[in-house]
């Protein structure tokens, strides 16, 4: 089948099969910033925002999200103009191998949209679905706290 999606603000038309999950559709069409291949929704590396809500794209059927707004990590910033969360992750040691980073950054982005002043406990709960094997999470949490300052400071 064929349908429209809005990805990172651009309207796109893609062909896909009935059972295809969003992760595969996105990677097949060059959105390789979406990682992960557990296909159980357990690792969070494939997180994208659908209508602003973090979702595991590996267990989301493409057909379920036709016409919706999908945001990947490239949709919130670039190397030249990084989002404060991306900047904070880079500065605060929150990126080691970086494979889980796009998912974790998007989760943080959604969190701060809904709750601009989360507690550490709020951050931990939000990140619960984004597994990271390298950092042990502490620097990710510190980075998100730092991003809050950056955002509040208008940077």
Contacting another protein within 43-82 (CB under 8 A):
43, 45, 72-74, 77-79, 82
- Assigned token pair, 78: 């670039």
CA R_g for the chain? 15
The least CB distance from residue 36 to another protein, in Å, is 7
CA distance 70 to 8: 6
Contacting another protein within 98-127 (CB under 8 A):
98-102, 105, 123-125, 127
Contact 82, 142 (CB under 8 A): no
Q: Does 32 bind another protein (CB under 8 A)?
A: yes
CA distance 95 to 56: 20
Rule CB under 8 A: choose which of 2, 10, 30, 67 binds another protein. Answer: 30
- Determine which helix (DSSP H) or strand (DSSP E) holds 3, and give its type and residue range: strand 2-7
The least CB distance from residue 145 to another protein, in Å, is 13
- Length of the chain equals 155
Q: Does 131 bind another protein (CB under 8 A)?
A: yes
| Interface contacts to another protein, rule CB under 8 A | 30, 32-40, 42-43, 45, 72-74, 77-79, 82, 86-87, 89-93, 95-102, 105, 123-125, 127-141
């Amino acid at each position: 089948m064929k349908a429209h999606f809005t990805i990172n603000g651009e309207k796109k038309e893609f062909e896909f099969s009935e059972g295809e999950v969003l992760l595969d559709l996105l990677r097949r069409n060059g959105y390789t910033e979406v990682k992960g291949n557990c296909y159980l929704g357990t690792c969070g590396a494939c997180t994208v925002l659908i209508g602003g809500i973090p979702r595991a794209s590996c267990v989301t059927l493409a057909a379920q999200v036709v016409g919706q707004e999908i945001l990947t990590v490239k949709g919130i910033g670039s190397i030249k103009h990084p989002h404060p969360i991306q900047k904070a992750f880079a500065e605060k040691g929150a990126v080691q191998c970086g494979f889980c980073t796009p998912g974790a950054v998007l989760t943080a982005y959604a969190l701060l949209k809904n709750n601009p002043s989360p507690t550490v406990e709020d951050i931990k709960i939000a990140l619960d679905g984004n597994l990271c094997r390298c950092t042990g999470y502490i620097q990710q949490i510190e980075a998100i706290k730092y991003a809050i300052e950056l955002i509040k400071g208008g940077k």
